[in-house]
Structure formats: C-alpha cells, structure tokens
Structure 1
Amino acid sequence: MAADGPLDERDVLARIDEYVGEEQRLRERYRRDELGREEEHRRLEALEVALDQCWDLLRRRRARLEAGGDPGGERVRPPDEVEGYLQ
C-alpha cells in the first residue's frame, strides 16, 4: 500500500474495501479458469501484504487517537516490517 501523504481512517477503510474486492474478483476469475495459478498467486500475495499494511496503520491510528494523540502522524510501514510481526 503506497501512500504519499497522511491517510485518514476513511481512506484506510476504503483501501481495505478495495483490496478485499479485488481479492474476491481474483478468486472468482481463478475459479472460472480465467487466470493462471502463478499470476493469481503473485497478485494475491501482494494484496495480502497491502491489507496487512492497512490493518496495521488503522490499529496504530486508533491507538494513538485513544491515547489522546494525533493519528495523522502515523504512516504506512514498509512491507518487510509489517510482515515480520508475529501473529
């Protein structure tokens, strides 16, 4: 998920919705044999990373707001940082 500037919660939620919709469309195309496995797999992996980044940003924004801070100071973390978290 690339972001040039600060995103508000609505922006982050809109991106999540967009990515989930694309993921669903990809899976449907795959079921209809319109998409190769390798191509689908690469894009799905990219979508998973982007969704992880969105959820991470949203959680950090909400935590900062709850603590009385400015959530606008939070930025998207790089994929290698977000993907390194233990679940």
Structure 2
Amino acid sequence: MSEQSSNASINSSINDLIAEEHELRNNPDKSDENRQRLRSVEAELDQCWDLLRQRRSKAEFGDDPDQAHVRPAAEVENYRN
C-alpha cells in the first residue's frame, strides 16, 4: 500500500469518526451506551491522529511509513493535532 493511500485511508477514518463524534455530542439521548460510544470514538480518534503523525514523521526522515503502528489508546490519550 502506498504512503498516500494509507494516509488517505487514515484521513478518511478520522473524518468518519469526527462526524460520528459530532452526532453523538449533538444527540439529546445521553444514555450510558452513547457516552461509552463517545469515549470509544474519542480514543479511536486519538489513535488515528497519532498513527498519521507517526507515518508523516517517518516519511519526512526517510523511514518507511508502513513501519508505523497503532499505539494503545492509553498511550495516545487526548492527542491534539
């Protein structure tokens, strides 16, 4: 898989997760299930942003971006772009 297609796939996932996050935040149903899903989406977003940053960094310094890996949510928690 090429760097561009992998990055595009990650960006697509980020966009999908952001859309879902907005839906969950704007949903008047504040059930435990929705709150759990929101926390899960937030963690997945943190992981996606971290993976994308790893890939870009590796490419910038001549390393193989495909060597980047998804890190545990606890490790990348509250990541900000």
TM-score by length of 1: 0.75
The 2-side partners of 1:84 and 1:17 are apart by 17
The 2-side partners of 1:84 and 1:36 are apart by 22
Match of 2:20 among 18, 22, 26: 22
Contact 2:13–2:48, Cα closer than 8 Å, also in 1: yes
- Structure with the larger RCO, 1 or 2 (CA within 8 Å, 6+ apart): 1
Contact 2:46–2:78, Cα closer than 8 Å, also in 1: no
Q: Which has the higher helix share?
A: 2
Larger radius of gyration: 1
CA deviation after TM superposition for structure 1 residue 84, in Å: 8.3
**2:59 is equivalent to residue 61 of structure 1:** no
User: Unmatched 5+ residue regions in structure 2?
Assistant: none
Deviations 1:10-32 (A, max 9, x none): 111000001001111112222xx
Contact 2:46–2:76, Cα closer than 8 Å, also in 1: yes
The 2-side partners of 1:79 and 1:29 are apart by 25
Other-structure match for 2:35: 41
User: Unmatched 5+ residue regions in structure 1?
Assistant: 1-6
Count, aligned residues = 75
Aligned residue for 2:27, secondary structure, equals helix
Match of 2:6 among 1, 8, 14: 8
CA deviation after TM superposition for structure 1 residue 57, in Å: 0.4
